[in-house]
Amino acid sequence: LRQQVSQMERLSLVGRMAASITHEIRNPMAVVRGFVQLMQERTTLEHQKPFFELIVAELDRTNEIINDFLSLAQNRITPKQMLELNDLIRAMHPLIAAEANMRRIGIRLLLDSDVPPLLLNDKEIKQLILNLTRNAVEAMDDGGVLTVETRFDGEAGEARMIVSDTGPGIPPQTLERLFEPFFTTKERGTGLGLTVCLSIVDNHGGRIDIRSEEGKGTDFIVTLKAEAADSDG
């Protein structure tokens, strides 16, 4: 038992260290970002503006990696409440739409009102929705349709959220490595999006399945157990 306790303490120490290190990095980075933007606005050399834009974009990417890393490193038991999955999807809709509109992508929400309230961590599930829909949007370079669907399987006591795109699909060799940390096929990808998704779904005792057909598109299927309200998950 003693061994166990000290191991848990060490884990949370690593989590706390990760949190304070990322905090110490994020603050100076925000200052740098602010001044770079100021320089971009003030410069009289038009041809230099794209360089400043690039610096800001790369700073933003670094910040994204730090955020994803932080949520993985902390790996804590997150508080959960009985929440409506459909409400969380609706709450994310404007953000998803903003990203989709820039690429001529249509959005369909097919939300099953039979899905009961589920034991969820609000922040994590929103992050999950965002990461999956963002990947779907990024897969559809030439436009397409993004569908977010929910379904309730009463017999199995399982709720499903299916994020589908009409993109190019995922080749088998990529499929194998999808959840590896830092695996990306994108020039500006972090490769942490799906790693975070997997950790979130794990945290909720659920699973992720993938259905993909080359040339047709991809479905990410998240399955969550519907539990009694008095269970602690």
By a kind-dependent CB cut-off of 5 to 8 A, residue 178 interacts, out of ligand ADP, Mg ion, none, with ligand ADP
Per CB under 6 A, 124 contacts ligand ADP: no
CA distance 40 to 154: 56
26 vs 75: CA distance, rounded Å: 20
Q: Which does 222 bind (CB under 5 to 8 A by kind): Mg ion, ligand ADP, none?
A: none
Q: How many helices (H) and strands (E) does the chain have?
A: 6, 7
Is there binding between residue 135 and ligand ADP (CB under 6 A)? yes
Residue nearest to ligand ADP (CB): 193
Sequence-distant (6+) residues with CB within 8 A of 172 are none
Give the Å distances, CA to CA, from 220 to 70, 101, 126, 213: 24, 21, 15, 12
- Least distance between ligand ADP and beta carbon 70 (Å): 16
Should residue 216 be labelled a site residue for ligand ADP when binding is judged by CB under 6 A?
no
Considering the rule CB under 6 A, would residue 170 count as an interface residue with ligand ADP? yes
The site for ligand ADP (CB under 6 A) is made up of: 131, 135-136, 139, 165, 167, 170, 174, 178, 183-186, 189-195, 218
